[in-house]
Structure 1
Amino acid sequence: MNGSLEGQVALITGGAGGLGSAAGAWLAAEGATVVLADLATESAQAAAEKLRAGGYAAEGVGVDVTDSAAVEQAVADVAARHGGLHILLTSHGFPRDGRLLDMTDEQWRAVLDVCLSGTFTTVRAAARPMVAAGYGRIITIASRAWHGNPGQANYSAAKAGVVGLTRSVAKELGRKGITANSIAPGLVETASLRGLDTFAAIEERAVKDNSIKRIGQPDDVAGAVTFLASPTSGFITGEVLHVSGGRFG
């Protein structure tokens, strides 16, 4: 697919994170202009600068996905600066684990607000220029946890909601030339994960349960993103692509 995204503009929320920045590098290598958006503005700008140093077109911007007005403005600004928006990847989110009886309202709301409501506001905003152009690729990052995980009622509910949202968008916008698909990663090694004191135990458990006996890497997810962002995937919509090493439940 070398150069398959030439002339296209991609917006990635959570673009400063391990998955978002890896996907940005893959999309940029295919010719897309990549906008990395993140609550951590300086980190997004640093990630974009790294791409530019490699000869790619990229910029980093700050955005809070829980602020719908800010999201609408950010998307409008990106479309105005770059002449449109063709690809959206929602790669933002975080878990706040806790057993059901111990989970606080704050833990519940924080995860639902960012992972689910933030995905809704971003997809809604990005769909506007895509509908106007009659073309778009919407890719949401769900998680293997959408099947349900103990200790992650909030995260599992949010990611299941992301899948339902994405499938609804696929049904609504297919006639407008827009596809919408989810990627459900399993355990993926990022800097934040490796920094956990429990990383070794988490990795051992995941490898035991995976059919492919390793944990995922950001490039595993980025490759799937690149395919779903490409013109090649134009007859695929409403799907959930598990990038989980064969672990589903």
Structure 2
Amino acid sequence: MIPAFHQSCSEVVGKWDNIVLDKGSSCEVDVWPWLMSMTADVISRTAFGSSYKEGHRIFELQAELSELIIQAFRKAFIPGYSSLPTQGNRRMKAAARESQAILRGIVDKRLRAREAGEATSQDLLGTLLESNLGQGKGNGMSIEDEIEECKLFCFAGQETTSVLLVWTMILLSQHQDWQERAQEEVRLILDDKNNKPDIESLSHLKVMSMAFYEVLRLYPLVSLLRREVNKDVVTDVRRNKCGNR
């Protein structure tokens, strides 16, 4: 799936380069919407393969549903209110139905292709469908289960990944010595690969891995998830427990 990641990321970085060329190096770019779009594109490609454009519509519907649900939670609780035909309730049900219909159409298309003897795509949906082959009756996942798995993959993966990338960019901009170390590491490792990463080269990005782990330590990626230190911690930044510098 790394080629799909690389393609989506390269397209976004290429567009940023064009913006800088047009407006100059002092221009400001709001990266958040770009990263949201990029992560949606990545997940669409890896989840649905050639159907990734249809997957994009699912992200739009999921984002709309999330906003409507948040608005509903902010209102005073009234028993039975969710069943009333209000504008918000009608829109939530319509968006849920459309999302379900798109996924059902993608799954049915894959099932017809499999019955016709075509090779199974190496994406999330293809893996889910493949896992059901050879299962005894009643032991495999139902079509509804597979649809829900795809919806969860889309919903849980997009915003958390975007948040991780945004916080990483913020912290690297605040600690530019680490930014320079990360950039130098990427240049050294990917120059030999013509700037096209593979699983082996990514495993050697030690500085970037450290940056991501530090971001994950400082900033949880899930909304409303808090962390609390329940006791004082004293550390020696010069040495670790093994005595290594």
TM-score (norm 1): 0.29
Determine which structure has the larger helix proportion and give its number: 2
Q: Could you say which structure has the larger radius of gyration? A: 2
**More relative contact order, 1 or 2 (CA 8 Å, 6+ apart):** 2
Determine which structure has the larger strand proportion and give its number: 1
